[in-house]
Structure 1
Amino acid sequence: MTNKQPLSRERRAQLDAGLVEATHLAEILALDFARLLAAVAPSLPASAVASMRKAANSGITLRMQGAATLLRAHALGDPLHWQTHTSDTVRGWACYLIGSDPRLTLEHKLDAMRALADDPHFGVREWAWLALRPHIAAEPLRVLAHVHGWTADASPNVRRFACEALRPRGVWAAHIALFKQEPQHAQPLLEALCCDESRYVQDSVGNWLNDAGKSQPAWVRALCAGWAERHAGAANAYVRKRALRLLDKAG
């Protein structure tokens, strides 16, 4: 998701106007939120756009939430209006509109996010769980119970969301203290996905366990050892290798 070539003026203008999707992370990070807001929501007052311009140096997740807050404040907060937009970033704002909607229960937020969790664009799929992460971190067992059935969904994107959203650690996301210390709560979910045919899901399960191994290495080793005895396929072998990559280096 990186690109060594600098963005051309034409490409940047297309992204800022919401006319195209970003093709990699560097384009997402380089996008001018103020220009994008002005382009896709021309009814916003100039003061609202200016406030987003002042936040240009804030972290990307803060800018995503800030854009959603501005849209809601100016009666533009219906996520259904934005979640089919051409721009992946605008669809990401729909994620944050859902995640911050005070009228929705946590279960309703998860269900409303399901279509965005299955978005064709990699970035939107990340915003789908990141926008809910504060609520997930606060009530992980409640979320775990709700999304367990998603592990049988036909879409690997939805199956992956069920795992990725509950990872114990995250670079841009709040950690889940319970799963860092007691990862066994999530074992039924991990068991349901441990032989998934999708590499996208396999990576998520492996990364989940890699996270858990930083605080509970013995539990991760034991789980993987049990899987090695019960699952002979290539999918589970890949998951185990990814799960143990740091532990194996540590010896």
Structure 2
Amino acid sequence: MKRKGARSAKDIPTDILNLLNRGEMETANLVEWLAVDQKILLGNLLLYYRRTDYLETVLSKIDQLKKQTVNTINQAIGIGLFELASQNKDNEFLTIMSSHPADLVRCWATYAIGKNDHLDIAQTLQQIQPFAADTHFGVREICWMAVRAKIAKNLPESMAILSGWTSNDDENIRRFTTEATRPRGVWCEHIEVLKQQPELGLPILERLRSDKAKYVRDSVGNWLNDVGKTQPDFVTQLCARWESESDTKETKYIIKKAMRTIKSSEGPKSE
């Protein structure tokens, strides 16, 4: 049975937190996700799989972080483990991470993919797709962050590949296409070229303008709302065209979300 999880960190039962820190179950919500001690989880993971010689090096990477947050620690661990596994030709451990029952360990595995310079963008996206379809919200969010820099560096090819994902039956994979390419994004660097040339995103956006999944529609709306802060005319004109071409409640929903910053900046009109 799916757990709801505690509403605050102090309400997480001790036995549940211990199981989470041992990597024996998934977090049930954001509260639990933030409450896991990733250093303890890392130590338990390496002890169980007899890789304790990796621990000191990865902990050192965490200690060197200018700012320790859940996301920066997550990234430091993922990259640190990838580098050590690569040096030791330890592909078995990377496979273990990718299919581990603990969601945070799978999050670390996504950074191993993003950091792997031997993979071109097509191979990177092929390997990250299963994580985009992960049943856990945390893995789905971290996976696009892990490969976003490579997507931005290879934007034309990335857009061509991701536009093909927009027809996937899995709404999580469809959502990845817009969330990974949001011009401003959340907790990540902006993609400047998309802020100035949002038309590059049309191969993805056009295919999702009437998506049946709210999860996807929200992401499309947020993508366009990002652009509205730098290229409001583009968003206004696109939404006007969509409104005339696609008379569906799904498109109307996206347009409302896409135009919210533009509408708020216009303010009340005088008589």
Find the partner of 2:46 among 32, 41, 46: 41
What is the number of residues matched between the two proteins? 251
SS at 2:187 equivalent: coil
Query: Counterpart of 2:221?
Result: 206
The runs of at least 4 consecutive aligned structure 1 residues that moved more than 6 Å come to none
Name the aligned partner's letter for residue 179 of structure 2: E
Structure 1 residues 16, 37: closer, same or farther in 2, change over 3 A?
same
Q: After alignment, is 89-98 or 49-58 more displaced?
A: 49-58
Structure 1 residues 191, 82: closer, same or farther in 2, change over 3 A?
same
Contact 1:140 1:176 in 2 (8 A): no
- Distance of 2:44 and 2:58 partners within structure 1: 10
Structure 1 residues 87, 52: closer, same or farther in 2, change over 3 A?
farther
TM-score (norm 2): 0.86
SS at 2:96 equivalent: helix
Gaps of 5+ in 1: none
Instruction: Return the index of the structure with the highest Cα Rg.
Output: 2
Query: Counterpart of 1:123?
Result: 138
> 1:28, CA displacement in angstroms?
1.9
TM-score (norm 1): 0.92
1:248 aligns with 2:256: no
Gaps of 5+ in 2: 267-271
Query: Counterpart of 2:167?
Result: 152
Query: Counterpart of 2:192?
Result: 177
Query: Counterpart of 2:60?
Result: 51
Name the aligned partner's letter for residue 24 of structure 1: N
Q: How does 1:1-251 map to 2 (within 5 A)?
A: 3-4=7-8, 6=10, 7-42=12-47, 43-45=51-53, 46-48=55-57, 50-51=59-60, 54=63, 58-75=68-85, 76=90, 78-251=93-266
> 1:171, CA displacement in angstroms?
2.5
- Distance of 1:86 and 1:206 partners within structure 2: 33
1:132-161: CA deviation from partner (whole Å, max 9, x where unpaired): 011122222221112111011111111111
TM-align CA RMSD: 2.0
Contact 1:2 1:26 in 2 (8 A): yes
> 1:69, CA displacement in angstroms?
2.7
- Distance of 1:114 and 1:179 partners within structure 2: 22
Name the aligned partner's letter for residue 54 of structure 1: D
- Distance of 1:187 and 1:70 partners within structure 2: 36
> 1:236, CA displacement in angstroms?
0.6
Give identity over the alignment, percent: 35
